[in-house]
Amino acid sequence: MTRILAVDPIPEPGLALLRKRPEFEIVDARDVNDDALGNHMEEAEIILLRGRNIRPEHFDRARKLRFISRHGVGLDKVDMAQMQRLGVTVAVTADANYLSVAEHAMMLTLAGCRRVISADHATRNGGWRSRIDTPTHELSGSTVLLLGFGRIGQTYAGLLSAFGCRISVYDPYLPEGATLPCGATRVQALSDVLPEQDIVSLHMPLTDQTRNFIGADLLSRFREGAILVNTARGGVVDEAALVGALDQGRPAIYATDVLAKEPPQPDDPLFSRSDVIVTPHSAALTQQGKLRMALGVAQNVLDFVDGKLAPHMIAFTPE
């Protein structure tokens, strides 16, 4: 029997796909405490991981572990150096949620352009005349800079293109000479182009290199009135520096689905601001996206065991 440890809630369609294989034993560890989880890890050969933080010492006890199937695409919960040492392959559901996240990024972009949250609040509280003074603007014709140009960034760029936006891309991992879709142009130096951007949208993973990437220096170069959109990870933005930048109107709006600390504290300083739009890390969680991720996390297990895991699903494989 192959023991599969589900450490997070995985939607039933994915688990049902795994239950069809009689050689799998699925252990539900969603509600076990941290100490008990360590005991379960000792016998796990495969882990289904969604968002739970597993202590490094628990992984060190997982001597039988061969594979982690990630429900989603972020890898900030997985220490790749440790996976290398343990000989564990890590896969993601690469094709499952990029459309949902790209649409959410577009929603946040439009909400920022038209000041939707503050307009809703004003309307409900007698501020009908706020429509005259609120500085909204059209997305059409805007200059938009994408930081990161993977599947989500490319899909978001396609949506922007339909609005007639002028799109630039910053991604040091793009191959030299890569053809960019949607009429996008590539930039090399952020400091040169940031003052020209109406909108900056983040699509980069959280790594040691990208943590607090959007810090005080880059924020100081934002155009007054610009919008910063984040559907990547909260830690990519230095939130302490961001508060000061928002006070200066550079950017004028921060529209984000992610926060540096999740779940956040009720007194998070971003929550008291009318120039911040925030959603609860829900961009990928459309009904369609959840179904695709559930099926994808299970299919990756099947493909790994059968020796046919698709290369684009592999986030890490030990040397």
Total structural domains in the chain? 2
User: Are 87 and 116 in a shared domain?
Assistant: no
Looking at residues 20-43, what average pLDDT do you find?
Answer: 92
Are residues 110 and 81 part of one domain?
no
- For 196-228, write each residue's pLDDT tens digit: 999 999 999 999 999 999 999 999 999 999 999
Domain residues for 33?
Answer: 2-96+287-316
Residues annotated as catalytic (active site), given as ranges: 233, 262, 281
Q: Are residues 157 and 227 in the same domain?
A: yes
Instruction: Say whether both 126 and 87 belong to one domain.
Output: no
Residues 79 and 199 placed together within one structural domain of the fold: no
Question: pLDDT over 70 for what percent of the chain?
Answer: 100
Q: Are 135 and 150 in contact (CB under 8 A)?
A: no
Write out pLDDT tens, residues 242-287. 999 999 999 999 999 999 999 999 999 999 999 999 999 999 999 9
% the chain with pLDDT above 90: 87
Beta bridge partners of 145: 168, 200
Say which CATH number the domain at 89 has: 3.40.50.720
**C-alpha to C-alpha distance for 173 and 140, rounded to whole angstroms:** 29
| Residues 193 and 76 both lie in one domain | no
Q: Give the model's pLDDT for residue 76.
A: 83
- 167 and 231 part of one domain: yes
DSSP lists the bridge partners of residue 167 as: 144
Q: Are residues 163 and 223 in the same domain?
A: yes
Asked whether the whole model's pTM tops 0.85, one would answer: yes
pLDDT band of residue 75 (cuts 50, 70, 90) is confident
38 and 168, same domain (yes or no): no
Q: Which H or E run includes 228? A: strand 227-230
**176: which residues sit within 8 A by CB, 6+ positions away?**
none
Q: Give the separation between CA 242 and CA 249, rounded to whole angstroms.
A: 10
Residues 135 and 240 in one domain: yes
* 87 and 104 together in one domain: no
Q: Are residues 129 and 251 in the same domain?
A: yes
